[in-house]
Structure 1
Amino acid sequence: MRYPPSPTLLALAAMLAFTLPGCNEELRATTDTTSSDGGTPLNDSELDPDSDAFRYDTDGYEGRVVVTLHPQQAVSTDTGTGVVFAVPFPQGWLTDADSVSLHDNQGEIPIRTRAIGHWWDPDTGEPSSIRSVRVSLNARFSSRESLTLELRWGGPRDKELGTGIEAASTWIPITESGVDEAEYTTAEIMEPAVYATLPAAWLSKTTLRTRTVPVDQWSESEWFDEALLGYSRTMVNDVSDAVSEGDLVNYEPDTWADTGSVDTSSWLFDRASTLWGVYFRTGDVKWLRHAHRASQYYALNIERDNDTNPSDSSDRNFRGQFRFKDVDYPDHKYSYGLPMLLDRLVAGAPEAGPSRAEDAVRAVSDLITDGYWEGTYGDSAAYNPGLASNHLWTERHQAYAFSAHLTAWEYTGDAAYRDKLDDYVAQMVDHVANPPGGYAADGCLVHDFKHHEWNKYNDTPTPVCSPWMTALLAEPLWRYYRLTQDRRALGLLADFSESVAEHGTYIAQDESSDVGTSSGLWDARLPQYLYSSEYNGVDEGVSDPWGDWEHTCDVSGLLYRGVVAGRLLERDMSRERVVADEMMASCRTNLDNWRRPGNDSYLAQNGPEWRLTPTRKYNWWFGTTLDLPWLHDLQH
């Protein structure tokens, strides 16, 4: 393999400082660094502190965690029921699935276990530890009340289940669940007859996507957590009966073939993975159920050479394409492998079955690989000109291309995906340091406006970057770093944060320049729609304060993530910390703005209390910001 051992932190910091110059020197000169700890170096141990709540040394075991079983309506009481569930583990905590045992208040329970996911050594490609273990048992429920058990690992297992249980045999159609039975109707969605939940604190430790904190356990997070849960209920139509049908989220077509009747954008920016994040932060079976169902439904709607289900066009053969997006060319920004990976690691989804999860994950990567997206921006952009006329290249496309290969590597351990990731990172490092077209090195992925908005500025070279699209890219880059310890990713994240802080934000003013009198919007720090050192979106009339306000939460995540990355590289990120805090305050006012409480008459006329217009913003508000409270807390 071509992945050398990581150099020392100081050597890398020096190297990155040379190859990826910061773009914040002027602003730093005016920053009072004593007002912030953004200049204090971090080390990796501060990202993952040991947790005494889950690791202990007693009775010969290394640790334990509570597992709660939730039988659904289809489960018969007082008879044996086969149960299969999965438990994800933090990196390096479990190497032997046979050391896992299950206990109730009367003692050990016979089980069988199998590793169904691994943490991969980024240099050798070999499994380094178990990422998820599937547990099967026979349970007897005296009622449909939840049952609490204790899972232990690193010790003896004295009782073995005699006969194995296939996960698929323990699943039921959602029409038999007794809970939200009509959530999906155009495909038969299967789910566990018995769901198993884990504590939110445990789910945080497993870094399935990133570190998190349990809802309401961050001292300043009440406003963000309340908004997360409120808008999440709107996204799954758990709203007042007074809300009219026309104001519900239309995330499913009326019939299988009628894709035009669905609000496709409700799936844009990865609806299913955003719902997984709500479960990770709450540990609530309600959100586990919604996330699993969304993942299964989404997987069924990923094209597999037009052979999975009747397709709306006989000449479409775009493997990996999301079928709701009825277009004449593949649009991979709707295609994600992450929902299927999370369903596997957290719900123990079987390899076979209608969703064919591994094939779906590979299909999404194939969509990018098969000539559509090359990962490199050039004079003609990376968009294949043979497929359409508009030669798009944006940080959003880059984000989902990178994430597709990252997820495929996480799922399979296939070295080919690891090679793609290495190439992408190298290309981005070079792009930031040496922007194509002779543009200034602004610390972001500078590209021409005509490759971002193809019908604008076609004849005039204009360098731009997008803060909110870069936020989409920062999330998988952060995940990639946590999986590989490749500090080139830290350099990119720190540069992105420095770039946005220096050139990519502004203070909103109303038309009369009467700052601070009309709305929570005025006098707020907002991200530019597009920016560079040579282009100001506000001056050009491209940035709209009301629209830019909508991206304050995700850009806060980008800024904080870059601050953490910079501190790991011993950079002074004081200015970026201040800008991140100001952007976070704007995030709060924006989330508050869209909450419109009222009586039944008001809701019937205006829609849900927690309004989502358009629906896709739910996924950018709360998708890449899953760790926003944790990132904020790490700074304060």
Structure 2
Amino acid sequence: MHKLFLGLVVTYFTLLSSVHAVGFGEIHLSVNLTKNSMQLLLPIPNGKIPLSSDFELSEMDIPIKADYMAKTVWPSNSEKKYIRVLLIEFSHLGGKNTPLKLKWTENEKSKEFKTDITINNPILVYPSLSWLTQSFLLHRDVGKLDNEWYIGPQAQYAKYVTNEKLLLQRGYSPEKASQWLFDRPQAIYQLYLMSGNIKWFHEANILAQFYIEHIDEEGVSTLTKKYDPKYFMPKGLLFRYLLTMDDKALQALKKIFYSSLKWDPVYTSHRGFWTERNQAAALNVAVTYWELTNDKRALERINEILNATVKMTFNPENNWALRGCPQHSFKSHEGKGDNSPTCSPWMMALLGDALWRFYRLTNDIRASSLINAFGDFILNHGIFYGTAAKLKGIVMPKYIVSMENPRQEEHNQWTDPQHSCDVAGLLGKSVYIKQKEKQDAFLTKLLFKALLEQCQNTYVKYKKEKKNGKLKNHWLLNPPRRFGWMYSTTSDLPWLESLLLNDY
């Protein structure tokens, strides 16, 4: 297996033209180079560098002869394509903190890239952390972002869930299937992308490698030994491939995509088992495979799932009233109870995140309309209030909502708040769309703010321990799979907070 080395990032960044109208530009890198042939791997935000660009690499304004290869491009229906990952190969005498400058100029003629460069220990480079998060998390640059409240506590939990010895002490072996729910590799890669700490890059690679090794030829996890869409973890594979060009990650993603086609996204009143969680898993795989390969079958699958979810939400079965969620029967969701309509806020957060990814890549109106409606549903149906002395009056997300038979709901004011972060993420995405569409988002924004404040309670603990010099080596989190649902779909929270709550 090839290795990938990390270059020292960032001295400064200069972009000489506006996003999505890029004719030319340059970035500055500081890289540890070794002797002989070198390869640099540069992730690039969408819309920054056209595929038809000419490049010039230089050191101290002295040109360096180099070969360039566009390893991947951003998915698009437009004739104009943009580079997603650029591979640069050249010879160098070596040196620490070598200052390099990469310039590009758009060429109206079709660009012929070298196609026979073999990946060989490339150095991952990027000019700034903001550039990196734009390239992977699709965040628009908002300048310096305060994300310490998010990544500080996340790192404390990550020190536990990436430590095999600590997990084994509590009975959680790597082979325990539930460990791999909610895409832990994705969450750890995102911690790396948001912090720049290479420790998390290496830890995420270890987790992704383990996951890859336990996907069989049919795209099924060998840990479960049965077909279960919940164990599709595509985003960790996406990040693994884009950050390392490990072809095994792409092949594993392809396998789970074709395996995911077994899930029928269409719900009818005669349907048996159906949940937003499985719908989210199928959509997440399809979107991820499509964005990496531009595969036509993957786009068809995305449309199938979107259209089925739109029907459930805006033209529900059994003449159920419109409520803003993909309604299905309580019995089909839980395997017990009656056939009255139900939806699960935290599972909708999983589905909403897959919709959000597709929306950010395409501006698809179906995806944005669903996220918009989901926010209304959470506001109108998906919350309750604590009654215990220390929790009195605190708003909490419901675990499940039974619209016509509330007796089937179980409100647990001690455990339901564990989903404050993921449901807050869904609400923030809904507010973002409402504001973009110039719709009233006042109440949804207030609810987003309230749940976000609960999500930030771990930072209060973090600051207190740090201030008193009593910050522990790690924080326990049981069961460890909670780490995935807390952090895999919520990496947008600091960015959304900066955009949506700057007037508070």
**TM-score scaled to structure 1, two decimals?**
0.68
Question: Could you say if the C-alpha distance between residues 345 and 246 of structure 1 is closer, same or farther in structure 2, counting changes exceeding 3 Å?
Answer: closer
Larger radius of gyration: 1
Contact 2:234 2:253 in 1 (8 A): yes
Q: Which amino acid aligns with 2:259?
A: L
* Aligned residue in 2 for 1:209: 137
Counterpart of 1:331, as a letter, is D
Q: Would the alpha carbon gap of residues 271 and 468 (structure 1) be closer, same or farther in structure 2, given more than 3 Å must change?
A: same
2:205 paired residue among 272, 292, 302: 292
Match of 2:235 among 320, 335, 338: 338
Q: Please give the per-residue CA displacement for 1:105-133, whole angstroms capped at 9, x wherever unaligned.
A: 363332211112122224x6x66322221
Question: Kindly tell me: are residues 287 and 99 of structure 1, through their superposed partners in 2, closer, same or farther at Cα, counting changes over 3 Å?
Answer: farther
Residue 379 (1) aligns with residue 236 (2): no
2:180 and 2:354 map into 1 onto residues whose CA distance is: 18
Q: Which of the numbers 38, 42, 63 marks the counterpart of 2:25?
A: 63
Question: Do structure 1's residue 473 and structure 2's residue 351 form an aligned pair?
Answer: yes
Distance in 1, Cα, partners of 2:361 & 2:166: 45
What displacement does 1:592 show? 5.4
1:229 equivalenced with 2:110 (yes/no): no
In structure 2, do the counterparts of structure 1 residues 67 and 273 end up closer, same or farther at CA, with 3 Å as the change threshold? farther
Residues 58-106 of structure 1 deviation map (CA, whole Å, 9 limit, x = unaligned): xx982233445457xxxxx6x42x4333222222222236523333336
Q: 1:348-387 counterparts in 2 under 5 A?
A: 348-349=245-246, 351=247, 355=248, 357-369=249-261, 372-381=262-271
The CA deviation at 1:555 is 0.5
Following TM superposition, by how much is the alpha carbon of 1:267 offset from its aligned partner in structure 2, in angstroms? Answer: 1.9
Whole-angstrom CA distance in 1 between matches of 2:430 and 2:465: 36
The 5 A counterparts of 1:584-623 are 584-589=452-457, 609-623=474-488
Distance 2:115 2:291 in 1: 30
Structure 2 equivalent of residue 462 of structure 1: 340
Which of 101, 105, 115 is residue 154 of structure 1 equivalent to? 105
- Aligned letter for 1:205? Q
Q: 1:128-165 CA deviation, whole Å, 9 max, x = no partner?
A: 322221222334445xx555533332279xxxx99965
8 Å Cα contact 2:50/2:106 also seen in 1: no
CA distance in 1 between partners of 2:171 and 2:499 (Å):
35
Residue equivalent to 2:5: none
- 1:553 pairs with 2:431: no
Q: Select which of 56, 62, 67 maps to 1:101.
A: 56
Quick one: structure 1 residues 166 and 635, their matched pair in 2 at CA, closer, same or farther if it must change by over 3 Å?
Answer: same
1:590/1:575 CA distance change after superposition, 3 Å: same
1:492 deviates by 0.5
1:487-510 residue CA offsets vs partner (Å, 9 max, x unmatched): 121111010001001110111121
2: distance between equivalents of 1:408 and 1:399? Answer: 14
From 301, 324, 328, the equivalent of 1:443 is: 324
Q: Which one-letter code corresponds to 2:201 in the other structure?
A: L
Instruction: Give the aligned residue type for 2:427.
Output: L
User: Which residue, 365, 377, 401 being the options, matches 2:282?
Assistant: 401
Matches of 1:337 and 1:94, distance apart in 2: 26
Alpha-carbon separation, structure 1, partners of 2:398 and 2:41: 43
User: Aligned partners of 1:428 and 1:104: how far apart in 2?
Assistant: 53
1:498 to 365, 376, 381: 376
Contact in 1 for aligned 2:184/2:484 (Cα 8 Å): yes
Equivalents in 2 of 1:147, 1:452: separation in Å? Answer: 57
Q: Answer yes or no: is 1:525 the counterpart of 2:395.
A: yes
Aligned counterparts, 1:77-476, within 5 A: 79-80=35-36, 82-96=37-51, 99-105=54-60, 107-122=62-77, 128-142=81-95, 147-154=98-105, 165-167=117-119, 169-170=120-121, 194-206=123-135, 208-211=136-139, 217-219=144-146, 221-237=147-163, 246-247=168-169, 250=172, 252=174, 262-304=175-217, 319-326=218-225, 329-349=226-246, 351=247, 355=248, 357-369=249-261, 372-381=262-271, 391-454=272-335, 456-457=336-337, 460-476=338-354
Letter in 1 for 2:185: A
Distance 1:222 1:209 in 2: 17
- CA offset digits 1:519-561 (Å, max 9, x no partner): xx5542210010143244xx54622122211110010000010
Structure 1 match to 2:4: none
The one-character-per-residue Cα deviations of 1:274-331 (angstroms, maximum 9, x if unpaired) are 1221122123333333333433332232211xxxxxxxxxxxxxx11122223xx301
Query: For the structure 1 residues 226 and 451, does the alpha-carbon distance in structure 2 shift closer, same or farther, using more than 3 Å as the test?
Result: same
Is the contact between residue 406 and residue 480 of structure 1 (CA under 8 Å) also seen in structure 2? yes
Q: Identity of counterpart residues, as a percentage?
A: 26
The change in CA–CA distance for 1:139 and 1:378 in structure 2 (over 3 A counts) is farther
Structure 1 residues 85 and 592, CA gap change in structure 2 (3 angstroms): same
Q: In structure 2, how many angstroms separate the alpha carbons of the residues matched to 1:162 and 1:471?
A: 42
Q: Which moved more, 1:444-453 or 1:576-585?
A: 444-453
Equivalent residue letter for 2:376: E
- The one-letter amino acid of 1:527's match is P
Structure 1 residue matching 2:415: 3-state secondary structure: helix
Q: Work out the CA distance in 1 between the residues paired with 2:303 and 2:166.
A: 49
Q: 2: CA distance between counterparts of 1:120 and 1:295?
A: 24
CA contact (8 A) 1:337 1:407 kept: yes
Worse-superposed segment, 497-506 or 291-300 = 291-300
> Residues 396 and 473 of structure 1 are in contact (CA less than 8 Å); yes or no, is this contact kept in structure 2?
yes
Q: What letter is aligned with 2:16? A: Y
Partner in structure 2 of residue 631 of structure 1: 496
CA–CA distance in structure 2, aligned partners of residues 525 and 358 of structure 1: 42
- CA 365–441 in structure 1, closer or farther in 2 if over 3 Å, else same: same
SS where residue 403 of structure 1 aligns?
helix
Alpha-carbon distance change, 134 to 440 in structure 1, aligned in 2, over 3 angstroms: same
Structure 1 residue 203, shift from structure 2 partner: 1.5
Residue 251 of structure 1: CA displacement? Answer: 6.1
What's the Cα RMSD here? 3.3
- What stretches of structure 2 of length at least 5 have no aligned partner? 1-11, 108-112
> Closer, same or farther in 2 for the Cα pair 1:96/1:548, shift >3 Å?
same
SS of residue in 2 equivalent to 1:330: coil
SS of equivalent residue, structure 1 residue 551: helix
- Could you tell me how far 1:595 is from its partner in structure 2? 10
* Pair 1:323–1:555, CA change in 2 (3 A): same
Map Cα deviations across residues 163-217 of structure 1 (whole Å, 9 max, x no partner): 96521x43xxxxxxxxxxxxxxxxxxxxx5x4435521102332x2331779x94
Would you say the 8 A contact 2:75–2:293 is kept in 1? no
User: 2: CA distance between counterparts of 1:248 and 1:154?
Assistant: 56
* Distance in 2, Cα, partners of 1:236 & 1:198: 28
Residue correspondences, number: 479
